[in-house]
Amino acid sequence: MIAEPNAASTLPSQKENAVHDETVPESPAQNGTCVRNGNLKTPREKRKVREQCENIRRNSPAGRRVSQLQNGEVVEAVTLFEVVSMGKQAMQSVVVDWVEAYKQDRNVALLDLINFFIQCSGCQGMVTAEMFQSLYKKDVMQKMTETFDKETGLQYKKFMAYPWILTVTWPVDMDNEDYPLIRTGPYWKKFKANFCEFIAVLVQQCQCSILYDNYLMDAIISLLTGLADSMVRAFRHTSTLAAMKLLTAVVSVHLNLDVNKHNAQRLCEVEKKRLSGKRTSYRLDQLERKRKEYEHKLLEIQNMMNAIFKGTFLTRYRDVIPEIRATCMEEIGSWIKTYPDAFLNDSYLKYVGWMLYDKQAEVRLKCLLGLQGIYSRKELVSRMDLFTNRFKDRIVSMPLDKDHEVAVQAMKLLMLMSQLLSHGGDKVQPKGGKFGASTDQLKRLIHFFLESELHKHVAYLVDSLWDWAGKFLKDWECMTTLLLKNADEAGEALSDAQESALIEIILATVREAAEGHPPVGRGAAKKILSVKEKKIQLEDCTRITEHFIMVLPQLLAKYSTDAQKVANLLQIPQYYDLDVYSTGHLEKHLDALLREIKDIVAKHSDMSVLEASSRTYYILCREEIAIYSQVDCARTQMIDELMKQLNQLLDCFWQKEGGFCMDAEEISRMHSTLRRVAAFHNAHDLTKWNLYDKTLRFLVFETEHGSLPVLIILPALQCTYFSLLWQLAAVSENSPKETLFVLRRQLRHFSQICTCFLHHKEKDVREKAFMILCDWLLILSHLDSNNNEEAVGLLGYLPNTELQEKLFSFIQEHVFMDGEEEKKDLTEEGKDEACKLDDLHKKRSLLAAYCKLIVYNVVEMTAAAEIYKYYVKTYSDFGDIIKEMLSKTRYNDKIQSAKTLILCLQQLFQTHAESQDSSNGVDFSSPSFANIKELARRFSLTFGWDQVKSRESIAMIHKEGIEFAFQGATGVDGKCLPPNLSFLLIISEFSNKLLKPDKRLVYSYLQRYITEPLACRGDKWQPLVWYRNSLLSNEDEESSVLGSLGEWPPVGSSKTSSFKRKLSNGSVPETSQTEGSKAPEQQCVSQLSSAAGKSRKRLKSQEMHLQERLPFLCPGGIRRRYCKDEVKTEDVSAEGPEDTIEDVDVVGTDQDS
């Protein structure tokens, strides 16, 4: 007889079964064998279980105790579920023990296994089982039900796991979608892998014995099929995964049996030939029996495979849960690839093709990965013709999938299909000799890159093809040969655009091969290379060096007049293995490279070419390599020539004292020379050429007379900046004080010049001076002069208030323009789209430079309040920069950052209030007020979902906001409407970020300012009612009703007593508002460091703990403002040393009446 559902009414309550990580057998249900999951309450119950339960611990394989060290303690696993949960170190031995127990008593062992699958589904209910004897009972199908018992609050499912009828009973909260397969955390992250491993090990251990006893697999398959048909997601997901992995393991067994059968068949044939007509021998009979045994086992395995596929796969591959569908698609791809003789046909492939249209990207991805595994085997491609023709269009369209990973894998599948399908034709030697095929492919790739207008970044095109066409992309010999061809060679020379594209491809392939990781934005982080990949990377670097050492000088000579091509080619030497120059005796090629670079520097004034040349010299000029002296000599000669040319130009430039005379051509020559010097001074120390005095003279002359051309000012400013940086870098521990004083004077002088240039008539000069000044201040404020504290004291510099105001004024004028000014600026200059983007890039650079000063405490954090005002207005252009600054400042000091946010909102509110008619109050419906509320909402979103982590900042925002809202509230009996009361509507946007206990604290703090309830009636006090309701957060419906009536619920004595003020000598100390708010805030920083680690349950239950964590909201007691009734206080100084500390009134007593 099957146990009725009410037999399980003795289960613990829903809360008792809510969280259990361990499983212990308990008392059996009436008229059936019971396996119950839960905690036993008394030793008597445990003793009863040991005496009555059929699944006795000593006879169970789960009785084997597996020890594992966890958090310094030994944890003993006593069930199969616990072994799998804790890890798979002892899984093999546990499965062996279970098989031995099964051979002794299969019913007991099988019940253990059934209980294991139920537990893996996250069920804390119980399983009852009854042996089913008659196969012809009419009510069997009626018992295969899943229903809900309203009386007991339990759900139960009855199904047949032959030869048993099982009843699984579980509490209603089983539907909360929390079960081991989807749980997070370090304890559960490997559960799925361990669960799958357990099933594979179980089948492996049973394949030689009990797998074919017509009992074990029948029961397991019936169990999993029944659970997979459940309405509960946990049962369906867990049982489907188990069934799919079970079929995968059975397929492996089938393959082994098939190999053994063929071996036995071959041995039989050999034995028959050896006997040649003689009578049958004993060995032949033995081989025949073995062959028939294998055939019988194969038949049983085939039946198992069909039962699992039809019973589980066909019903679950279209499940509503995407994880279940993805599991089915992943496993069927594995079956087809592992056992193509049985599964590689249209009857199975159609399911993969159908699910390519699934709405979930995870399912489509599993289908594509499975197809890649099939198409990667050439012997299987010929059997995929019908599938390819049927679903070709769908696969071709999938590279445009909205999911990035699906699109990438679809592209890889298409490339794999095209490669395999193209191999069917005859191989014909292409035209063009040695590089004919590669040349044609290169031209097609170049044509695609130039004709397609998707993007102009060739690095991403190369990265997309790298895994599939790496050998072709590494054919640098073919690429350079194509570049060096002349136009008269059979008309195969490339056009100018094609040559530029090919040089970009060469640079991208060299970078990808040398660095071994994708370009920026393609991939979350740098790829960790395996040993094999590192070996390939080193081999590629050697090939790059050996080839381009000889070819690069020729390419530079050919394209020496083309700035774009030269700038790209000069980046290749940074990927060289420089030791090859000396080990390969290739110094002559180094001389050729240096000559070409020197010639290029003399020809070009483009900064990209000059910076690439300077960087090449910097890479080749390393002191630790053998070619250093050779390169250093060439560099010195080139710089000597540059300085000689500069001196000649300077002599002509300064014709008379206090003036200059120069025509346009000479100005252009001076400009080019200064740019060359600046480019090399950036990476090389040119101090010995005394460049500082020469360039500083230009800047001083400009500040005094203001008549120098911009083409001279900009490179001179850059050269002076680099000269001072190299002098700073040269400061050592033994630097004399006289040198430090001279350097200090130079630093201050340069800072004054840059400050003066902030108001220059030319926009380019102003922007350049601002960028240099921001970097300059950042460097001087964070000096670390080789442990020379005296040097840091003399050279360190922080901007004063006047300079900080000038910097922000510059940002307002050049970045945050008014709409009319910006439109006027664009109209006057007639800028096209490219110019607009260039201007936006400049503005972003200016704003980022200023924000860095705030982040690194060079400029006071309160300056960020002015920037935050533009957060919503300029979100599309600068939102990411402002948000990053907000994140960094919050990381540095979350309390001060919160004060900066509330300061921003206060300033905007005051501006709004001043623009309104004072007699009518603040207009809530005005666009400006709505913008302030939207800004507050955006600020609230930046705190994320972790309320514990941000609780101090949010509490500080509410504290400052409340004080600001009631600022200036004076009058008869304190009944005058505070002028800033509407500000409460703005800070209510932060109420949802408060923890519930903190809401009570903020509410109590708010009550210190309110008057009697009758005084708060009327529409003018409505912001106070709204704000109060946002703090109550629908916890107390009665309080919400009272609030809507304008009446205030009293604070309970338990809450009031926790905020009593500790008095000394029976009087309240009078302090100012500033002094009162300072001390608790300083305590907050040190006392709140560990608040994030506390559990939320503990935070809700301990209000005294909350007082300690938020001292600025709980200064020791509550004193209501503007209220006639006095709050009782009591002396608690005798409670302990901690309670005797004098508390400070946060708000102050200057408003008391």
pLDDT in tens, 1046-1098: 444 443 333 333 333 332 333 333 333 333 333 334 333 333 333 333 433 44
| Mean pLDDT on 555-581 | 94
- Which helix (H) or strand (E) segment is 106 a member of? helix 106-120
How many Å apart are CA 817 and CA 665, to the nearest integer? 37
Measured distance CA(1020)–CA(621) in Å, rounded: 75
Pairing assessment for the beta strands 164-171 and 73-77 based on DSSP bridges = unpaired
Q: For residue 134, what pLDDT band results from cuts at 50, 70 and 90? A: very low
DSSP H helical ranges for 893-990: 894-915, 927-941, 951-965, 983-987
- Which of 579, 655, 678 is CA-nearest to residue 624? 579
Burial code (b: 16+ CB inside 10 Å, e: under 16) for 367-379 equals bbbbbbebbeeee
603 within 8 A of 638, measured Cβ to Cβ: no
Q: How confident is the model at residue 5 (pLDDT cuts 50, 70, 90)?
A: very low
Least trusted range by pLDDT, from 567-581, 827-841, 855-869: 827-841
135-146 core/surface letters (b: 16 or more CB in 10 A; e: else): eeeeeeeeeeeb
Report which DSSP code applies to 801.
H
pLDDT at 967: 84
The mean-pLDDT minimum among 127-141, 395-409, 632-646 falls in 127-141
Two tokens at 517? 């990781």
The answer to whether 406 and 361 are in contact (CB under 8 A) is yes
pLDDT in tens, 702-727: 998 888 899 999 999 999 999 999 99
Q: Which residues touch 813 (CB under 8 Å, ≥6 apart)? A: none
- Say if residue 428's pLDDT is above 50: no
Q: Is the pLDDT of residue 739 over 80?
A: yes
Strands (E), 194-308: none
Rounded CA gap, 1092 and 952, in Å?
10
* Helical packing angle, 875-892 and 833-855, nearest 10°: 10
N- to C-terminal Cα distance for the chain? 82
Please state which of the ranges 8-22, 69-83, 938-952 shows the lowest mean pLDDT: 8-22
pTM of the model: 0.65
Cβ atoms of 1133 and 1061 within 8 Å: the answer is: no
Judge whether 692 and 723 are in contact, CB under 8 Å: yes
pLDDT for res 1048: 42
Question: Mean per-residue pLDDT for 833-861?
Answer: 92
Q: Between residues 936 and 1032, which one has the greater pLDDT? A: 936
103-to-50, 60, 115, 210, 747 alpha-carbon distances in Å: 22, 11, 18, 8, 88
23-32, 390-399, 454-463: which has the minimum mean pLDDT? Answer: 23-32
pLDDT digits (tens, 9 = 90+) for 953-984: 999 999 999 999 988 765 434 457 788 888 99
Candidate ranges 9-18, 840-849, 1115-1124; pick with highest mean pLDDT: 840-849
Determine what percent of the chain is predicted with pLDDT higher than 70.
Answer: 70
Q: How far apart are CA 512 and CA 535, in angstroms?
A: 15
Q: How does residue 822 score in pLDDT terms, banded at 50, 70 and 90?
A: low
Choose between 573 and 734: higher pLDDT: 573
- What is the greatest pairwise CA distance in the chain? 128
Q: Which amino acid is at 176?
A: N
3-class secondary-structure state, position 129: strand
Task: Using the predicted structure, report yes or no on whether residue 906 has a pLDDT greater than 80.
Answer: yes
pLDDT of residue 792: 74
Q: What is the pLDDT of residue 919?
A: 59
Per-position DSSP letters for 581-609, written without gaps between them: HHHTT-HHHHHHHHHHHHHHHHH---HHH
Interval 326-361: pLDDT, tens: 999 999 999 999 999 999 999 999 999 999 999 999
Whether residue 191 is predicted with pLDDT greater than 60 in this model: the reply is yes
Residue 1005 scores a pLDDT above 70: yes
What is the chain's mean pLDDT, rounded? 77
CA angle, 666 as apex, 664 and 668 as ends, to 5°?
70
How far is 124 from 23, CA to CA, in rounded Å?
8
Query: Residue 6: pLDDT above 50?
Result: no
1043 pLDDT band, cuts 50/70/90, is very low
Average pLDDT (513-533) is: 78
Give 364-389 pLDDT, tens digit per residue.
999 999 999 999 888 888 888 899 99
Give just the sign of the alpha carbon dihedral 918, 921, 925, 931: positive
798 in Cβ contact with 875 (< 8 Å) = no
Per-residue pLDDT, 675: 94
The mean per-residue pLDDT over the stretch 659-687 comes to 87
What does the pLDDT read at residue 1106?
47
What's the gap between Cα 778 and its chain centre? 29
Instruction: Pick the most confident of 66-70, 398-402, 841-845, 1000-1004.
Output: 841-845
Task: Decide: helix, strand or coil at residue 869.
Answer: coil
